[in-house]
Amino acid sequence: MNDLFVYTLRLGDDALIAAQRTAEWIAAAPQLEEDVALGNIGLDQLGQARTLLQYAGQVEGAGRSEDDLAYFRDERDFLNVQLCELPNGDFAQSIARLLYFATYQHLLYEELRGCADETLAGVAGKAVKEVAYHVDHATQWVLRLGDGTEESHRRMQAGLDTMWPYTAELFTSDALVERLEVAVDPSTLHDEWERRVTQVIDESTCARPTSSYQHSGGREGRHTEHFGFLLAELQHVARSHPGASW
Amino acid sequence: MLAGMDSFQATIEADGRIEPRDAMPEGYRKTLIRQIAQHAHSEIIGMQPEGNWISRAPSLRRKAILMAKVQDEAGHGLYLYAAAETLGVDRADLLDLLHSGKQKYSSIFNYPTLTWADIGAIGWLVDGAAIVNQVPLCRCSYGPYARAMVRVCKEESFHQRQGFEILHTLCNGTEAQKAMAQDALNRWWWPSLMMFGPPDASSTHSEQSMAWGIKRHSNDELRQRFVDMTVPQADVLGIRVPDEGLTCDEETGHYSFTEPDFTELYEVVKGNGPCNQQRLAHRVKAHEDGAWVREAAAAYAEKQAAKAQGSAA
């Protein structure tokens, strides 16, 4: 398979699956302002996913559209990291994921906007501003929850701990990113990511998670048990009417 | 200069706007609080039947539009609660009244969204009916409410078009898609007609609200306007309004139609609709699950304020 296609798919799948989870908060958030904010963030993620999947389809050259890629691939063909597919859990857990993921995306897009591929550079240039807001939103909440009440502190710590073992996968390098010139080698982003995330966690009075075990497999299409249900829900209407337009 | 209630009456008679600091009769204030709060509650409860389809929207473009639409409704809720707060109430108290069932929301949201076509039908019929109800409210005598409605109506008109467009695509699609559209119209037609409230003869709040310039047209007038607007659109879609008695008066251009069964409306208002309990339970759960988050935010703000004071001292 074409390296650029696979690389673009990885970024697009991350954004799509993140959007699907974020959207689950709409009409269920702790307050109305948060329904609006998380709606915004989900829309940003979905917008990034759409542009990336359109581009992936174009690069592949087999005539697949964003919807073909989103709705008519099976579990093992999705290349998103497992972090994005994990269930939302409570609000603190979702916020922990957003902090980890958006901080990674921010560093990634900052690098990618200077790459030689015009489309990827363009997507990154637009998205970097969006994810800067996501990082800020997550940061504000980690601080409030970490240094709020006893209960919120306990929940924030648990959220950070639960999501932590899924973060190393974001930074795993492989032969593809080494071969593909326009790709950002994610391993080069790790130290700065850890510095930024640790700073927020420290300020929040939570402790940096210590788990050394790290999950992996998403980039090879090996996912968690949760993922099949997410996809079933996302895809079922489209798959029930193959060939239909919506 | 007229003082107090004389000034209020003069403003109403001159079709001017009453503003938050102006004197107003207690009944006027109470009526508006009730109406604006119920309107706000309708926006946020209305997020549920549509939010129900975000995860399953059949294309990414539709998913994005639907997310934006439900987000708009949260925004409408926010500024309607803000408009109510200008009358001296708190959003938190109004939410408590919703959660305890003491204040209502539009009964239309107690019907379930069963297929993707229902998302089209809600946009086309429910938002269409909302526009007919709400456009006159842009001229409501209470300034903050009227101004909020100007913005709400602009967004609702976009929502209505996207609903029509969903159905238009379905009606020009496969047989199964067209059947889905017809089924949605069959189920949403009568509840949509009931959105205008009971017939004029039995409407309890109408007369005083008309005198105060809160309400501009009667329920039956608005219902007629909605039918006249909607039936030709159904013809364009190529689906049939489920009313055997529907005829067009060539002379007046108005449709005559069968009255909906208002006993159903009264039942749903009482709590006996298909989703009353589900909608309220979902709202209460989101609120209760979020309590620790709101408490944390308040505690954090207090700590920060104390720190700022400490460092200033």
| Per-residue model confidence as pLDDT tens digits over A169-228 | 999 999 999 999 999 999 999 999 999 999 999 999 999 999 889 999 999 999 999 999
What gap in Å lies between CA B121 and CA B222, rounded to an integer? 19
The matching CATH number, chosen from 1.20.1260.10, 3.90.180.10, 3.70.10.10, 3.30.70.890, for A3-240 is 1.20.1260.10
pLDDT of residue B2: 67
Find chain B residues with C-beta within 8 A of A233's C-beta. 55-56
Residue of B43, B60, B278 to mutate for A, most A C-beta atoms under 10 A: B60
Q: Is the model's pLDDT at A106 over the cut of 70? A: yes
Residue type, A181: E
Find chain B residues with C-beta within 8 A of A40's C-beta. 71
What gap in Å lies between CA A47 and CA A41, rounded to an integer? 10
**CA R_g for chain A:** 18
What gap in Å lies between CA A176 and CA A199, rounded to an integer? 32
Any alpha helices (H) in A29-116, and if so which ranges?
Answer: 32-60, 66-71, 82-85, 91-112
Q: Is the model's pLDDT at B201 over the cut of 80? A: yes
pLDDT digits (tens, 9 = 90+) for B112-124: 999 999 999 999 9
Find chain B residues with C-beta within 8 A of A65's C-beta. none
Task: Considering only the beta carbons, identify the residue of A26, A36, A66 that sits closest to B54.
Answer: A26
Contact at CB, A237 and B56, closer than 8 angstroms: yes
Beta carbons within 10 angstroms of residue A101's beta carbon: 27
3-state secondary structure chain B: CCCHHHHHHHHHHCCCCECCCCCCCHHHHHHHHHHHHHHHHHHHHHHHHHHCCCCCCCCHHHHHHHHHHHHHHHHHHHHHHHHHHCCCCCHHHHHHHHHCCCCCCCHHHHCCCCCCHHHHHHHHHHHHHHHHHHHHHHHCCEHHHHHHHHHHHHHHHHHHHHHHHHHHHHHCCCHHHHHHHHHHHHHHHHHHHHCCCCCHHHCCCHHHHHHCCCCCCCHHHHHHHHHHHHHHHHHHHCCCCCCCCCEECCCCCCEECCCCCHHHHHHHHHCCCCCHHHHHHHHHHHHHHCHHHHHHHHHHHHHHHHHHHHHHC
| Token digits of residue A201 | 């966690």
| Helix pair angle (B91-99, B276-289), 10° resolution | 140
pLDDT digits (tens, 9 = 90+) for B246-281: 999 989 989 999 999 999 999 999 999 999 999 999
pTM of the model: 0.96
Are B129 and B159 a contacting pair, CB within 8 Å? no
Closest Cα to residue B135, out of B69, B199, B55, B225?
B225
Q: How confident is the model at residue B310 (pLDDT cuts 50, 70, 90)?
A: confident
Q: Which three-class secondary structure state does DSSP give residue A166?
A: helix
ipTM above 0.95, yes or no: yes
Provide the chain B residues 74-103 that lie in CB contact (below 8 A) with chain A: 74-75, 77-78, 81
What gap in Å lies between CA B279 and CA B42, rounded to an integer? 11
The reply to whether B1 touches chain A by the CB within 8 Å rule is no
Mean pLDDT, residues A51-75: 98
Find chain B residues with C-beta within 8 A of A46's C-beta. 60, 63-64, 67
Percent of chain B with pLDDT over 70: 99
The reply to whether B284 touches chain A by the CB within 8 Å rule is no
Q: Which three-class secondary structure state does DSSP give residue A100?
A: helix
Are B189 and B111 a contacting pair, CB within 8 Å? no
Contact at CB, B296 and A152, closer than 8 angstroms: yes
Provide the chain B residues 143-202 that lie in CB contact (below 8 A) with chain A: 166, 169-170, 173-174, 176-177
Are B193 and B261 a contacting pair, CB within 8 Å? no
Residue B164, classified by CB atoms within 10 Å of its CB into exposed (0-12), middle (13-18) or buried (19+), is buried
Task: Considering only the beta carbons, identify the residue of A26, A31, A43 that sits closest to B51.
Answer: A26
Q: Is the model's pLDDT at A40 over the cut of 70? A: yes
Contact at CB, A246 and B169, closer than 8 angstroms: yes
Residue A154, C-beta contacts closer than 8 angstroms, at least 6 positions apart = none
Q: Which chain A residue is nearest to residue B41, measuring alpha carbons?
A: A32
Instruction: Give Cα separations from B87 to A38, B28, B36, B95, B96 (angstroms).
Output: 29, 10, 10, 16, 17
The region of weakest confidence among A69-73, A76-80, A157-161, B261-265 is: B261-265
pLDDT of residue A1: 67
Contact at CB, A148 and B300, closer than 8 angstroms: yes
Contact at CB, A31 and B294, closer than 8 angstroms: yes
Q: Which three-class secondary structure state does DSSP give residue A159?
A: helix
What gap in Å lies between CA B48 and CA A51, rounded to an integer? 28
Residue B169, classified by CB atoms within 10 Å of its CB into exposed (0-12), middle (13-18) or buried (19+), is middle
Residue of B63, B70, B99, B115 to mutate for A, most A C-beta atoms under 10 A: B63
Are A173 and A108 a contacting pair, CB within 8 Å? no
CA distance A158 to chain B (A): 14
pLDDT digits (tens, 9 = 90+) for B68-96: 999 999 999 999 999 999 999 999 999 99
CA distance B15 to chain A (A): 34
The reply to whether B56 touches chain A by the CB within 8 Å rule is yes
The region of weakest confidence among B3-7, B56-60, B303-307 is: B3-7
CA distance B193 to chain A (A): 26
Domain boundaries, chain A: 3-240
Contact at CB, B67 and A23, closer than 8 angstroms: yes
Q: Is the model's pLDDT at A168 over the cut of 80? A: yes
CA distance A167 to chain B (A): 25
